[in-house]
């Protein structure tokens, strides 16, 4: 993971590179052990910046709520499903808040805008490429 920024005061941006599993799968009989490697060409990043309200910003390509037609909407849902990255950002915020509450970690007052960017191809994020001989 790398930290980056555009010079905006209080802005935090981090990037994580895609990984390809060579052997194993975190949910299988290998007990979460895997051999994998990262791909420098594919990544996802998240950006956190101070704002008046807490805002989860939808991605303009992956979290569409505007379509050219009903056919476009139906085709998009058939090919890519109902979910984009917004639900993951909301889940991250929820898990973070609950963790801090359970551990009595005081959070600073203030809100933020959370957004993401990715160039990892759709439908590949959860794929596991396993090569067994």
pLDDT tens digits for range 77-119: 888 887 788 988 999 999 999 999 999 999 999 999 999 999 9
Q: How crowded is the C-beta side of 49, counted as CA atoms within 13 Å?
A: 12
Supply the pLDDT for residue 2: 42
**Distance between CA atoms of 37 and 16, rounded to whole angstroms?**
13
Residues 50 and 111: beta-carbon distance below 8 Å: yes
- Report pLDDT for 15: 93
């Amino acid at each position: 993971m790398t930290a980056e920024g555009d010079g905006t005061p209080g802005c935090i941006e981090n990037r994580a590179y895609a990984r390809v599993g060579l052997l194993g799968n975190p949910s299988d009989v290998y007990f979460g052990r895997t051999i994998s490697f990262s791909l420098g060409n594919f990544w996802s990043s998240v950006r956190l910046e101070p704002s008046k309200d807490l805002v989860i910003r939808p991605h303009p390509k992956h979290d569409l709520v505007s379509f050219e037609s009903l056919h476009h909407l139906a085709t998009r849902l058939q090919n890519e499903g109902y979910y984009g990255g917004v639900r993951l950002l909301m889940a991250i915020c929820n898990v973070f808040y609950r963790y801090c509450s359970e551990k009595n970690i005081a959070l600073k007052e203030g809100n933020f805008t959370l957004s993401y960017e990715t160039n990892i191809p759709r439908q590949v994020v959860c794929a596991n490429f396993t090569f067994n001989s």
